[in-house]
């Protein structure tokens, strides 16, 4: 019985440690100076599923929320509203794949006028997703007289990999890219009751990408937003 208890405690401790153990890599590549003036805003768009991208809408929302948070937050134009307002120029089939296509889009008077009215200075294109990279183990549950019990351990490794490309609509060029790669292991040890210990890879990727984008958009002198 004592051996079982020790095993259980070991499993729980391992799970706690493992769930807290995430590796992250944040990278930035700058092509041009940036800055956001009063009245200017940005929009975050997920790259098209036509190209096989599957960035989660929840991640787009999370990033928008983090970038607009606080007094120094940016004004972020709602992505769904933007796609409706500028239909059909940024649909999965028609979205520009390079900044060289921007002049063609902006030569439609209605588009350039609407963009100016909305004050949209930057488009942040998102690519990437959170995926389960590996996993294993198992949990067995049994039902007895008036009781249910589980025992075992299951685990999986999550990888959240995202890249944000920033387009400057004023300069009609790419300002640069910021990327975040987070991986972490989640575990569900079960000693009578399963205890999920989840590594929040996607949330972490969202916060760190937002922090780095804040620095990137404001320029080198900006400070990191609190996580």
Identify which of residues 28 and 94 has a Cβ nearer to other proteins in the complex.
94
Residue 70 CA, chain-centre distance (Å), reads 19
Residue pointed to by tokens 């209605």: 110
What SS3 class is residue 44?
strand
Greatest alpha-carbon pair distance for the chain in Å reads 78
**Beta carbons of 168 and 122 less than 8 angstroms apart:** yes
Per-residue tokens: 174: 């790419």
Q: Minimal distance in Å, beta carbon 108 to other proteins?
A: 6
Residue 114 or 150: the one with the smaller Cβ distance to other proteins is 114
Distance CA 63, CA 208 (A): 9
Token pair for 75: 């004004």
By C-beta, is 10 or 54 nearer to other proteins? 54
- Closer to other proteins by Cβ: residue 25 or 50: 50
Q: At its nearest, how many Å lie between other proteins and the CB of residue 128?
A: 12
Smallest distance from other proteins to CB 85, Å:
5
As measured in angstroms, the least distance from the Cβ of 133 to other proteins is 16
> How would you list the strands of the sheet with 173-194, edge to edge?
22-30, 173-194, 147-168, 120-144, 41-46, 75-77
How far is Cα 109 from Cα 119, in angstroms, rounded to an integer? 15
101: enclosing H helix or E strand: none
Q: Which residues bind other proteins (CB under 8 A)?
A: 46, 49-50, 54-58, 78, 80-81, 83-89, 91-94, 101, 104-105, 107-111, 114
DSSP class of residue 225 equals: P
Tokens representing 150 are 């589980």
Bridge-partner residues for 23, per DSSP?
183
């Amino acid at each position: 019985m004592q051996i079982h208890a020790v095993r259980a405690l070991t499993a729980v401790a391992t799970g706690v440690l493992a769930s807290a153990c995430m590796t992250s890599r944040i990278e930035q590549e700058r092509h041009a100076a940036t800055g956001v003036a009063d009245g200017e805003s940005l929009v975050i768009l997920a790259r098209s599923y036509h190209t096989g991208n599957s960035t989660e809408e929840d991640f787009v929302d999370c990033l928008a929320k983090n970038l607009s948070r606080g007094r120094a937050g940016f004004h972020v134009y709602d992505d769904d509203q933007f796609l409706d307002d500028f239909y059909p120029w940024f649909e999965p089939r028609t979205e520009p794949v390079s900044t060289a296509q921007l002049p063609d889009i902006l030569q439609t008077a209605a588009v350039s006028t609407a963009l100016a009215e909305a004050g949209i200075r930057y488009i942040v294109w998102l690519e990437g997703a959170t995926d389960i990279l590996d996993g294993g183990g198992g949990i067995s549950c049994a039902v007895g007289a008036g009781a249910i019990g589980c025992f075992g351990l299951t685990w999986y490794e999550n990888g959240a990999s995202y890249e944000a490309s920033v387009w400057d609509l004023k300069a009609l060029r790419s300002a640069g890219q910021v990327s975040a790669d987070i991986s972490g292991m989640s575990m569900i040890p079960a000693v009578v009751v399963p205890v999920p210990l989840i590594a929040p890879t996607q949330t972490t990727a969202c916060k760190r990408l937002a922090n780095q984008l804040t620095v990137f958009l404001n320029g080198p002198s900006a400070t990191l937003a609190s996580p």
